[in-house]
Structure 1
Amino acid sequence: MNHCKTFLCCLSLFLVVGSLMLGGPGLKKTAFAEVKTDSRFINVAHRGASGYAPENTIAAFDKAVEMKADFFELDVQRSKDGHLVVLHDTSVDRTTDGTGYVRDMTLAELKRLDAGSWFSSKYSGEKIPTLEEVLERYRNKRINILIELKKPSLYPGIEQQVANLLREKHMDRWRGKVVVQSFNHDSIRRFHQTMPWVMTGALVSYTSYKDTGVTNEHLNTFARYADFVNPNKKLVDRDLVNRVHQRGMKILPYTVRSSEAADRLFHIGVDGFVTDYPELGYIYYAQ
């Protein structure tokens, strides 16, 4: 009988530890320190290193890896035939040689487009990637991925679809390898309910919050389902940074394109920032 009890105790301990290591659904939201970076400052390449290569393409993501960013950020939408594709605008007009809305085009139609020539002839022929292609290419690379659900109201069920793909690629098990964010906070709440052990972020636009600022009531709501508050940099001051930290969240403002903006944000205590130029974050690595 004693041997049986000992075995059952060991088995229970093994299951609990295993659940925690795999980031199981019972795992309580924990500190951002679990995200593995080379410093305490988090350097996020906006749509890849989009200052140097066409945004949301493999070329831009490869450049972010080459420049040793901690994360690259990307935008996810859905094609007419149900594939998750990486593109910022709801239409293809700005960043490809085609016209039309993403949701009205099949994956085959989207793949025929040139997504690089608008940036430089050097990138002629660059394609719109699928989220699956991106996850597969970078899942074992030394970089993390910040996924933005773009206009999720246009794509009912996209939260579950992203969660299913993360699970299929086993990228939900390493807490911090992937963070999912959106300006649509109902969408992020749904994703958090679906996959609560994966980190999430509440994007905060200047237009929506310029009159009220980001209030304590807003932050208290975000803290129920988000690990990050990621606002437009114009909304950020030291007081907001302190209030975000008091609620156990981290703050990554967007989008930094100058050394002046980078320096201001660093000195008011942000945890990192989103930038087109990853070198803007290097100066703070050793500090």
Structure 2
Amino acid sequence: MNKKLLLGTGVVFSLLFSPFNGAFAQEPTVGERKQVDNVAHRGATAYAPENTIAAFDLAVQMKADYIEIDVQRSKDGELVVIHDTTVNRTTDGTGKVGDLTFEQLRNLDAGSWKGKEFTGELIPTFEEILDRYRGKVGILIELKAPELYPGVEEQVAESIKKRNLDKPKNEKIIIQSFNFESMKKMNKLLPTVPIGVLTSNTAHTTPEALQEFSTYADWFNPSYGIVTKELVNQVHANGMQIGSWTVRSQEAADFLFEMGVDAIISDYPDYVDPRN
């Protein structure tokens, strides 16, 4: 049985995932398609440098339901938002995230690689993102390679609890990772916060695997290349929702709509929401 049902919070569960209830209310998506959560992958990364304030602000402007962020940790213990375990690709620096101090990371230019107009964009901190966007947009938090950062789960949980974001009636927060043991730990630390598991491996789509995931996870989030209608139905039968990644074409978005997923994680929020 799904962990939220075990907790007896079915009503809260439905409120958590209906797009933008209360403070998040918006006009429903037009057309005959099932409405899905529009998740801006690392922000609106097709149009702005990933995992920066510029990309997240644009995602909010484009009416995304969630922004997806990647959390790692600096050498001196600061939680930062960056995807790769090195800074080489998305900044003007080099080296592993975990080998650089926060000051060193903060002095990097995380925007100019995308365009001169983004020169000077910084690597954000996790707490900056929570403070800037809570109440404005949902936040899908990916713990990136948590095995490299012992104790990162406790740090993330502490930041969320400090802001009372672990209370389902408040903001929309989901935590996900490819590291399943990390997500089991997060489920124990934050039992009322939805948990997601990420995979691109069909071995994780068997009935047995899905049943196991459902004991601690609320979302099963596969790459769109392994999504089928049967998989969507099986995920739903196990009491979970399904969000798929990473959409970079209208064709991929249309396919996922047809499959009946609950969320589409895309670099292009406008491919998911026809209001853009």
The answer to whether TM tops 0.5 is yes
1:1-287 matched pairs, under 5 angstroms: 27-28=7-8, 30=10, 31-37=13-19, 38=26, 39=28, 40-141=35-136, 143-174=137-168, 177-205=172-200, 209-210=201-202, 212=203, 214-283=205-274
- Report the 3-state secondary structure (helix = DSSP H, G, I; strand = E; otherwise coil) of the residue aligned with 1:252: strand
**Residue 281 of structure 1: how far off its partner (Å):** 1.1
Any gaps of 5 or more consecutive residues in structure 2?
A: 1-5, 20-25, 29-34
Instruction: Write the deviation string for residues 58-98 of structure 1: whole angstroms up to 9, x where unpaired.
Output: 10000010000000101000001101000000000000000
Instruction: Write the deviation string for residues 105-124 of structure 1: whole angstroms up to 9, x where unpaired.
Output: 11111000000001111000
**Residue 173 of structure 1: how far off its partner (Å):** 1.5
Please identify the structure whose Cα radius of gyration is greater.
1
Instruction: Write the deviation string for residues 194-249 of structure 1: whole angstroms up to 9, x where unpaired.
Output: 111001100012xxx24x36101110111011110000000100000000000111
**Residue 174 of structure 1: how far off its partner (Å):** 3.2
Distance 2:14 2:120 in 1: 38
Distance 1:108 1:268 in 2: 45
Distance 1:227 1:32 in 2: 11
8 Å CA contact retained: 1:266, 1:272? no
Which moved further from structure 2: 242-251 or 173-182? 173-182
8 Å CA contact retained: 1:49, 1:64? yes
**Residue 36 of structure 1: how far off its partner (Å):** 4.3
Distance 2:7 2:214 in 1: 16
Distance 1:213 1:75 in 2: 22
**Residue 33 of structure 1: how far off its partner (Å):** 4.3
Distance 1:86 1:274 in 2: 17
8 Å CA contact retained: 1:32, 1:250? no
8 Å CA contact retained: 2:39, 2:65? yes
Distance 1:75 1:262 in 2: 22
8 Å CA contact retained: 1:213, 1:235? no
Distance 1:195 1:28 in 2: 15
Any gaps of 5 or more consecutive residues in structure 1?
A: 1-25
- Report the 3-state secondary structure (helix = DSSP H, G, I; strand = E; otherwise coil) of the residue aligned with 2:127: helix
8 Å CA contact retained: 1:228, 1:252? yes
Q: Which amino acid aligns with 2:249?
A: S
8 Å CA contact retained: 1:85, 1:131? yes
Q: Which amino acid aligns with 1:214?
A: T
Which moved further from structure 2: 58-67 or 132-141? 132-141
Identity of aligned residues (%): 52
- Kindly report the root-mean-square deviation, in angstroms, between the aligned alpha carbons of the 2 structures: 1.5
How high is the TM-score relative to the length of structure 1? 0.85
Distance 1:140 1:70 in 2: 11
